Structure 1
Amino acid sequence: MAEQVTRPEGSQVVIEVWADLGCPWCYVGKHRLQAAISQRPDADRFKIMMRSFELDPEAPQELEKNEESFIRTHGGTAANVLQAERQMQAMAHKEGLEYFVDRLNASTFNLHRVVQYAGDQGLGFEFFSDVQDGFFAGTLNPYDSDALAGVAESVGLDGQRVREILAGNEYADRVRADRTEGLELGATGVPFVVLDRRVAAPGAQKVPVYARLLEQVAGPVPGERVS
């Protein structure tokens, strides 16, 4: 997935992002990708599409503390988790991002079902991004249906439709299919970014790396000469 193809100038470039809500590197990587795009004068060419990837499909529906969730899936001690979280917090703060350590976690399957609906309306990334930002800032409970409906309405979606989806089982198959497709494309974790279905970038890359990948799939920044 590294084919070099020259695209028509000004044509849209689709960037697919496989991510999960509580993944700190997804949070950081998302903002780095957005920063790389915003540096280009043709930023409106790039369409970010959100794809679902549950890191822990066996996560409980009941809320659990962040350290409990980590130890359940990775082992270690609460002290280990806190140390790692403080390091992530310091890095996030250095990049201008809020980072609340005492988060609560649970299954993200229902959130991803709403993301699928939002994606059908062309607002999947906007919805997911706002939910994730609120989650890491400690200002939003993403497991509360009213909170998700509120975010949905703020980005232009139908809040009542979100409540209906959360009360049922719509989009469940699509959430699972997204994860399967990500694995087939080479994802071993998230974030996993695929640009124009030609270039894959695993992990949270730094802004200059994303910038180079954007140039690879979309050409140099308009106005620049290639020597």
Structure 2
Amino acid sequence: MSKRLVKLIVISDFGCPWCFIGHRELQTAIAQCANLPVAFEIEYRPFLLHPNLPAEPVSKNEFVGKKIGRERWEACKVMATERGEAVGINFSFAGPTSMTLQAHRLVSKAYEISGHAAQSTLITLIFRAYCEDDLDINDAQVLADLAEQSGVMSKVEALNFLDSDECLEKVNNQVAEARAKGVTGVPFTIIDGKWAVSGGQSAPVFVKIFNKLAETPAVPPSQSTTPVPATAVAVA
């Protein structure tokens, strides 16, 4: 039986704990749909939640607490920790935070080199480094190590890439395009260019959508680079 191809565009940022949760939930949902007559093509695209972050690392707790308010940040940490534990993530909020642009550039290059499977592997490693291991993911050495661990490229190749401007314009354009089309928070998942799932939804939400898609004929998605979703399927 031929499988219907479902294209997923996931817009996210490494500085967002809900994006890591959403990444895990989506991967779980796809695994649970292995017997459905659908195949998935996933592309992760960048977003900058904190575009004014300095290049040099600062305290994650201090920066986010000051930006969104200490009380709101403390509540967010509690909720993220609880959701994270349910999907095997051990969040730490004690580490540094800095610009995520370099990490997004590397992820974009991974997609160009090896497609969505390699890109997803690298994304998982970067999320772990930032959210669990308290590493500075704007540090070229850290990113190069993760690129090598993912198998996308060697450490030397990654360092050479990060020292260049390759993919910089592409990433900046994709961030600007997402904002221009109304994306204000992440994660934000666009399905077949027609529907959107906003927030770090649970795996059953995605499974329900994928089951419905398996029962309906495919319709060609919009030709736009980042389609404007016609329907918000679920909002966190």
1:23 is matched with 16
Distance 1:212 1:39, change over 3 A: same
Counterpart position of 1:165: 161
Secondary structure of the structure 2 residue equivalent to 1:204: coil
2:29 equivalent to 1:36: yes
Q: Distance in 2 between matches of 1:148 and 1:161?
A: 11
Normalising by the residue count of structure 1, what TM-score does the alignment of the two structures yield? 0.83
Look up the match of 1:152.
147
Question: In the aligned structure 1, how far is the partner of 2:60 from the partner of 2:51?
Answer: 16
Question: Alignment length, in residue pairs?
Answer: 211
Q: Helix, strand or coil for the counterpart of 1:12?
A: strand
> Which residue is 1:111 aligned to?
103
List per-residue Cα deviations over 1:98-129 (Å, max 9, x = no partner): 11121210011111111111110113222112
Kindly provide the amino acid, as one letter, of the partner of residue 15 in structure 2: G
Answer yes or no: is the 8 Å Cα contact 1:11–1:45 preserved in 2.
yes
Give the aligned partner of residue 93 of structure 1. 85
Alpha-carbon distance in structure 2 between the residues aligned to 1:42 and 1:176 = 38
Q: Which amino acid aligns with 1:82?
A: E
Q: Which runs of 5+ in 2 are unaligned?
A: 217-236
- Residues 29-53 of structure 1 show CA distances to partners (whole Å, capped at 9, x for unaligned) of 1111111111012478212211011
The CA RMSD measured in Å over matched residues stands at 2.2
Offset of residue 165 of structure 1: 2.1
Is the CA contact (8 Å cut-off) linking 2:95 and 2:134 kept in structure 1? no
CA distance in 2, matches of 1:71, 1:139: 17
1:224 aligns with none
Q: CA deviation at 1:55?
A: 1.0
Of 25, 49, 53 in structure 2, the residue corresponding to residue 55 of structure 1 is: 49
Q: Distance in 2 between matches of 1:116 and 1:100?
A: 26
Alpha-carbon spacing, 1:87–1:41, altered in 2? closer, same or farther (3 Å): closer
Gaps of 5+ in 1: 1-7, 221-227
* AA aligned opposite 1:90: E
**Structure 1 runs (4+) greater than 3 angstroms displaced:** 216-220
What is the 5 A alignment of 1:1-227? 9-42=2-35, 45-74=39-68, 76-77=69-70, 80-121=72-113, 122=115, 123-138=118-133, 140-158=135-153, 159-219=155-215
Task: State whether residues 25 and 203 of structure 1, in contact with CA within 8 Å, keep that contact through their aligned partners in structure 2.
Answer: yes
- In structure 1, the partner of 2:226 is none
Distance 1:181 1:219 in 2: 32
Instruction: Give the 3-state SS of the residue equivalent to 2:44 in structure 1.
Output: strand
Question: For 2:80 and 2:54, how far apart are their aligned partners in 1?
Answer: 24
Deviation at 1:201, TM superposition (A): 0.9
CA distance in 2, matches of 1:186, 1:211: 25
Task: Output the TM-score relative to the length of structure 2.
Answer: 0.80
RCO higher in 1 or 2 (8 Å CA, sep ≥ 6)? 1
CA contact under 8 A between 1:116 and 1:171: conserved in structure 2? yes
Contact (CA 8 Å) 1:196, 1:217: kept in 2 or not?
Answer: no
In 2, the alpha carbon distance for the partners of 1:213 and 1:9 equals 19
